[in-house]
Amino acid sequence: SRVMPASSPEVWDYIQSVEVAGRFDRDHADFPLFELDTRMTLGLLGELQAVRSSEPVRVLDLGCGTGRTLIAVAQAGAEAVGLDLSPHMLEKAAKNVAEAGVSDRVRLFRSDLASLRFLDEASVDLAVCLYGTLGLLRGQQARLDALRNVRRVLRPAGLLLVHVHNRTYPPHSPKHWLRLWRSWRAARRNPAEAEPGDFYFDDYAGAAVRRMFMHTFCRNELHDALDKAGYAVRTIHLIHPSRANLLENGLRNRLRSHGFFGVAVRP
């Protein structure tokens, strides 16, 4: 396994940015991917609520940002736990949760995916890791460790929903394929420091962050990561380029998919 630091300077700049947190909700208003992942989250929540009808389902949002998913699941009757490394995102989340009137159902923590010691083993029914958050971790081993930490806090038969960005999207962009080739070349030259699919984006979030790191995935990489972390993989969904709905599985669609949703079960 590759050994690399999980928190890159680029991601740390993103986490510490007051501007990113301040403009996040405005920049993502009516964002189709958020509407899609909320529908998927609520679908899985409803499935668990049907089984655990005698007590509230507990949902863990890993990288909760400004609280959009926490609010949705709390309004649907769940207990919600949100964590994020950005103090500015958490401050905005607390405000949004209070305005939505669900503060009694939501708890917020400042933490990363590698530090879930504040949660007991087998204490969560549904965990979600959305909007590419897993790809902010640098290095295969760091991502596996995070997935294993989440598995520890999931109850048996608990569910995980994780979103990642697709390495080959957009497939018709020569600029993107040049970026992908450079990523592959960097990994060949220095495999201890880089992996295929490691991308760096300049002037990220409207230039609020000068440079941003993101690891992107192919479908099989996500499936293998979940399998190695000890999950039973239920399905890997392909996301339509519009980000508003899903695609049928197939090689062509794997290339043009905007990203992937993995749904997995703790055995």
Digits of tens for pLDDT over the chain (267 positions)? 333 445 677 788 888 889 989 999 999 999 999 999 999 999 999 999 999 878 899 999 999 999 999 999 999 999 999 999 999 999 999 999 999 999 999 999 998 887 788 899 999 999 999 999 999 999 999 999 999 999 999 999 999 999 999 999 999 999 999 999 999 999 999 998 899 999 988 877 776 788 889 999 999 999 999 999 999 999 999 999 999 999 999 999 999 999 999 999 999
The neighbouring-strand residues paired with 259 are: 165
* Residue 259: predicted pLDDT: 98
pTM: 0.94
The Cα 267–Cα 253 span in angstroms is 30
Separate counts of helices (H) and strands (E) for the chain: 10, 10
The neighbouring-strand residues paired with 209 are: 204
The Cα 137–Cα 122 span in angstroms is 24
**DSSP secondary structure letters along 139-154:** SHHHHHHHHHHHHHHE
The Cα-based distances of 140 to 116, 155, 191 in angstroms read 19, 25, 11
Q: By the 8 A CB rule, do 146 and 14 touch?
A: no
What tokens does 123 get?
Answer: 């204490």
H or E stretch covering 72: helix 68-75
Q: By the 8 A CB rule, do 263 and 160 touch?
A: yes
The Cα 169–Cα 176 span in angstroms is 8
* Residue 15: predicted pLDDT: 84
Cβ neighbour number for residue 244 with a 10 Å cutoff: 12
* Residue 97: predicted pLDDT: 98
Cβ neighbour number for residue 173 with a 10 Å cutoff: 12
The Cα 145–Cα 154 span in angstroms is 14
Phi, psi of 45 (to 5 degrees): -60, -45
* Residue 10: predicted pLDDT: 75
What tokens does 223 get?
Answer: 């499936």
Cα–chain center distance at 253: 21
* Residue 3: predicted pLDDT: 37
Q: By the 8 A CB rule, do 254 and 221 touch?
A: no
Cα–chain center distance at 241: 18
Place of tokens 């401050």: 91
